Amino acid sequence: MLVIRRVRKIVSWKMISQVNHLFVSPITEKGSALISPQNFQSLNIRCFRSSHNVKVSVPELTTQTPVFPAVSKITRVARTDGQAALFDYLHCTRGFNYMDAEHISKNSPHFLQSLLSKIDNDQDVTRALTRFFRYYPINEFEPFLESVGLKPSEVTSMLPRDLMFLSDDHVLLDNYHVLCYYGIPRTKLGKIYRDATEIFGYEDGVLDMKLKAYEKLGLSRSTVIKLVTSSPTLLLGEMNSELLQVLEKLKILGFENDWMGGYLSNRHSYSWGRMLNTLHFLNEIGYSDEKIATLFKMNPAFLFEGSGKRIYVLVGQLLKLGLKMNDVYSLFCQNPNILSLKCAKNLWHALYFLLEIGLEIDNISNIVSAHIQLLGSHSLKGAKTVLRGFKGDKCRLCQTVKDDPLNLFRLASKSKFNVDQMTSQSPGKLFEKTTFLLRLGYLENTDEMAKALKQFRGRGDQLQERFDCLVNAGLDCNVVINMIKRAPTTLNQSKNVIEKKIDLLKTYLGYPVESIVSFPSYLCYDVDRVHRRFSMYAWLKQKGAAKPTLSVSTLLACSDTRFVKYFVDIHPEGPAMWESLKSSLQSAN
């Protein structure tokens, strides 16, 4: 009866797949096939032999079907019992170690569904599967490959033809355990298996030696894990020379080897050759190492997302507009922020907008040359949206833009800011400030950006100077960005005032500059208040009347009344000293 039920199910699966093939075709929005028929692989459905040598076979299907059949929803209890039965089979019957058996049984849901579909719903799951395993040994590579992260459709093509039990390929298991013990998540091993299967055939000690070789470059284990899970081919052959050159170049720029580890993702693959070319290209167009370092600190995704591909796409588009390479170099040198992801995206959309409305190439080239900063700083509406106001008349819209290129932003900008007001108010200054805020991570055309423009006082170059002052004092660039976002008025102090307050911190308290990270508002307090309170606290410490390491916020954030109560009156000579400090500061002013 069990065999008969399986025959009926297999035949029904085949019929469903053939019906689906008649009515479902992978079509994109533009009507082109996503996958060509040649890429579909035929599938042999594996069947089990019974003790009576009854064999059920199904002819090959010409279309791709799931490895595991779709079945009705399985209850949580049935799934839990099924996992337990599969674990018991792998661990107790087949001799898998506990960790392997547990991982496979809990991370192969499609295979488990297939198993549960072979028994009646009213049967005891544990007993039925235990009996099933006794007569029908499973192909252990199916749940194993699914458990390491391969999709069911990928499992089919990866199954070995002449093996059924994992123990028959001990070399694969040995290398699998090397990767697991190194710390690579088991569910991430599927990408390595798919992209670099040869790794699982290495002789004893080879894989471990290759992993350790990357650690000897100065990379932490966590960074090595991200590298090999995102780019498994790094473990094939000799050590990747292009990666070595990228690491060397980043070191010259002032980045530690592990810096890249914070931005790598195993969801992406990386072209180290393209990254290297991007770094060289930036040097060639006039970027100094210092500018490149700043660019990557502000926009690390520029290097890691697409492996630097965006710059080539952008340059290619500008060259198609008729700009000479020297012109492109000049534009990039004068507007380095245009290479940030946000600005490059805005520029790309603006070019598409102008091409879509039918503006001549020469006019587009002139607009780009004269207003590249505006194009990069503003996100534009779609061409169809703007054309509604012109009743679809592209010629009239083009003429309007030709008459005054700023009309493009008046009509199409998503920005809440009035372009006329912005340009009348010293356009260069406002756009420099906007550019500076974009580098800090603010998003254009948002309430946050509008609020920040009001909070930050000064030109863009002045704000950058004050920002650099904090970085040069010893704070990490990203730390300064977080400080500024928490207390924007920090940068409203002049460079001299910021330097003076940092000096007071070190001179009177002996505190490192990092002590203001948790209290960035320190830089916003009046210099006299800081000087007076720090002096009083330093005097109290000399007298042994105060704790030696009070926080800066404790000393400054309280009112004058509370400060006198807790830091002046606690010593008999405190009030006299406090008055003396106030008098000396008043006379000095």
AA identity, residue 335: N
Do the beta carbons of residue 5 and residue 56 sit within 8 Å? no
| The pLDDT value given to residue 472 | 83
| The pLDDT value given to residue 36 | 33
Residue 522, number of CB atoms within 10 A of its CB: 24
**Residue that is written with structure tokens 């830089």 in the block:** 523
User: Cα–Cα distance between 44 and 34 in angstroms, integer?
Assistant: 24
| The pLDDT value given to residue 416 | 57
Q: Within the chain, what is the greatest distance between any pair of CA atoms?
A: 109
| The pLDDT value given to residue 119 | 77
Among residues 138, 204, 141, the alpha carbon closest in space to that of 177 is found at 204
SS3 61: strand
Do the beta carbons of residue 272 and residue 240 sit within 8 Å? yes
**Residue that is written with structure tokens 């002139």 in the block:** 366
What tokens does 89 get? 């089979």
Phi, psi of 388 (to 5 degrees): -60, -35
Among residues 324, 400, 401, 408, the alpha carbon closest in space to that of 374 is found at 408
- In sequence order, the 6+-apart residues with CB closer than 8 A to the CB of 10 are 45, 47, 56, 58
Q: Packing angle between helix 76-88 and helix 109-116, nearest 10 degrees?
A: 100
- Output the tens digit of pLDDT for each of the chain's 589 residues: 434 444 334 433 333 333 333 323 332 333 333 333 233 233 232 333 333 333 333 333 333 333 444 445 677 888 888 888 888 888 888 888 898 889 988 898 898 888 888 777 667 888 888 888 888 888 889 899 888 888 888 888 888 888 888 888 889 999 999 999 888 888 888 888 888 889 889 999 899 999 999 888 888 888 898 888 888 988 888 888 888 998 898 888 888 877 888 778 777 788 888 888 888 877 776 677 887 787 777 667 667 776 677 776 777 778 788 777 767 766 766 666 676 667 778 888 888 888 888 888 888 888 887 778 778 878 888 888 888 888 888 888 888 888 888 888 888 887 654 544 444 444 445 556 777 777 777 776 666 777 777 777 777 777 888 888 888 888 887 788 888 888 887 888 888 888 888 888 888 888 888 888 888 888 888 888 888 888 888 888 888 888 878 888 888 888 888 888 888 888 888 888 888 888 876 666 5
User: Cα–Cα distance between 287 and 279 in angstroms, integer?
Assistant: 10
User: Cα–Cα distance between 298 and 275 in angstroms, integer?
Assistant: 17
User: Cα–Cα distance between 307 and 286 in angstroms, integer?
Assistant: 20
**Model pTM score:** 0.52
Any idea what DSSP says for residue 35?
Answer: S
Instruction: Please give the distance of CA 122 from its chain centroid, rounded to a whole number.
Output: 47
The burial of 350, by beta-carbon neighbours within 10 Å (0-12 exposed, 13-18 middle, 19 or more buried), is given as buried
| The pLDDT value given to residue 505 | 85
**Residue that is written with structure tokens 């076979």 in the block:** 57
User: Cα–Cα distance between 356 and 383 in angstroms, integer?
Assistant: 7
| The pLDDT value given to residue 26 | 32
What tokens does 522 get? 């320190």
Question: With b meaning 16 or more CB within 10 Å and e meaning fewer, what string describes 21-49?
Answer: eeeeeeeeeeeeeeeeeeeeeebebebbe
| The pLDDT value given to residue 209 | 92
Among residues 253, 185, 176, 262, the alpha carbon closest in space to that of 220 is found at 262
